[in-house]
Structure 1
Amino acid sequence: MAVEDPVGGFAVAVVREDGHWRCEQMDPEVLASLDASITALRRIRSTGAVFGLLNVDDEFFVIARPSPGGIELFLSDSSAALDYDIAADVLDLLRVDPPDEDEDEVWPEGDLAILADLGLPDGELDVIVAEPDLYPDEQLRMIAQRCGFADQLGALMAKMGA
C-alpha cells in the first residue's frame, strides 16, 4: 500500500473512568501509523483504562492499550501485515513474523486478554475474531457490548456516519 493512499475505517479512543465509559473519535490519520495511534492514546489523561479501537479499511482491527510498561496490542488478522503498514508494525512490536503470502489461514496475534479486566475474557475475544461472517466494525460492536460501552460507541459511530 502506498504511503499517500488514505486508509479508510475509523479510530476510537475508549476511556473508562470513575465507572463510566466515554468514546472519542481519533484523527483518521492514526489508521496509517501505529506510532501515531499510540501517541494519540498516550495524550489522553485518565485515571482509568484507555485503549484504542482501530478499524482499518473494514479489513481488520487493532486494539492498542497503553500501559506503564509499554503498549499492549491485539491484531485481528495477522495476514493484514502483508498489505498494511500499521499491521506490520503491530507484528514487529509483538516480535512476530508476518505470515507467508500464500498462507490461506487467518489468525489473530497479540494479547487475547487485553480487555479481560474490563469484562471481555480472552476466550470470548477469540470467538468474536474467529467468526468469519462478521466485519471488523461488527466485531468491535460485539466487543463494546461485552465490555459495557456499546451505547457510547454506537452513538459516536452514528455521529461519525460509520
Structure 2
Amino acid sequence: MPEEEAVPGFAIACVREDGKWRCTALNSSILSELDAAITELRKVRSTGAVIGLLGVDDQFFLLLRPSPRGISLLLSDAAAALDYDIAADALDLLRVEPPSEDDEEVWPEGALDILADIGLPAAELQVIVGEVDLFPDEQLQMVAQRCGFADEFNMLLDSIPQ
C-alpha cells in the first residue's frame, strides 16, 4: 500500500477532569483518516469530557467527541469532502451526501450542539463556523475560549510545528 501524503494541520485532544482542562497534541498523521483520529481519541483515558480539535490544511476543522454511545462530530465545511479524505469520511459517518463540485457555499455538517454541555451552545458554534474569513486555528481558538481551555489550547498550538 503506498504511503499517504501527510495532510498539513494539527490535532489536539482536550480533556476535562476534576474541573481542569488538559490539552495534548496528537500525531498529525491522523488528519488523513477519520477512523485513525477516532481511535487515537478513544485512547485518551478520562473520567470527563474528551474533545478532539482538528485543524486541517488551513481549510476546515473537525470537532470529535467520543462517548460510550459512539462518536459525535462536527465538520466545519461540508465542501471539504470534495478534496480531503477525512472530511469525506465524516460525511460518510453522518450519512450525508457530499456537496456538488460547483457549490460555493460553506456550511457545517454534524452536531452543532457537540459542546453545548460545556459552555458553547449550538447557535454560538454556528456563528463561529460562519466566520469564513478566519482560519480553522482561529475558529478553534474561539471554541476553546468559550469552553474555558483557551490558555492550554493556545500554548500547545503555539508549540506544534505546522
Which structure 1 residue ranges, 5 or more long, are not aligned? Answer: none
Matches within 5 A, 1:19-30: 19-30=19-30
**Superposed displacement of residue 71, structure 1:** 0.3
Matches within 5 A, 1:140-151: 140-151=140-151
4+ residue runs over 3 A deviation? none
- Specify the alignment match of 1:99 in structure 2: 99
- Specify the alignment match of 1:152 in structure 2: 152
Secondary structure at 1:144 match in 2: helix
User: Identical aligned pairs, as a percentage?
Assistant: 64
- Specify the alignment match of 2:89 in structure 1: 89
**Superposed displacement of residue 3, structure 1:** 6.4
**Superposed displacement of residue 157, structure 1:** 1.2
Q: TM-score, normalised by structure 1?
A: 0.96
- Deviation digits for residues 51-96 of structure 1, max 9, x if unmatched? 1000011100000100111100100000000000000000000000
* CA distance in structure 2 between the partners assigned to 1:8 and 1:94 by the alignment: 24
**Superposed displacement of residue 13, structure 1:** 0.3
Aligned pair 1:57/2:60, yes or no? no
Q: Pick closer, same or farther for the CA change 1:74–1:3 going to 2, 3 Å.
A: farther
Aligned pair 1:128/2:128, yes or no? yes
* CA distance in structure 2 between the partners assigned to 1:15 and 1:32 by the alignment: 23
Amino acid at match of 1:147: C
Aligned pair 1:43/2:43, yes or no? yes
* CA distance in structure 1 between the partners assigned to 2:159 and 2:99 by the alignment: 36
Secondary structure at 1:73 match in 2: strand
Secondary structure at 1:103 match in 2: coil
- Deviation digits for residues 78-127 of structure 1, max 9, x if unmatched? 00000000000000000000000011111000000000001000000000
Q: TM-score, normalised by structure 2?
A: 0.96
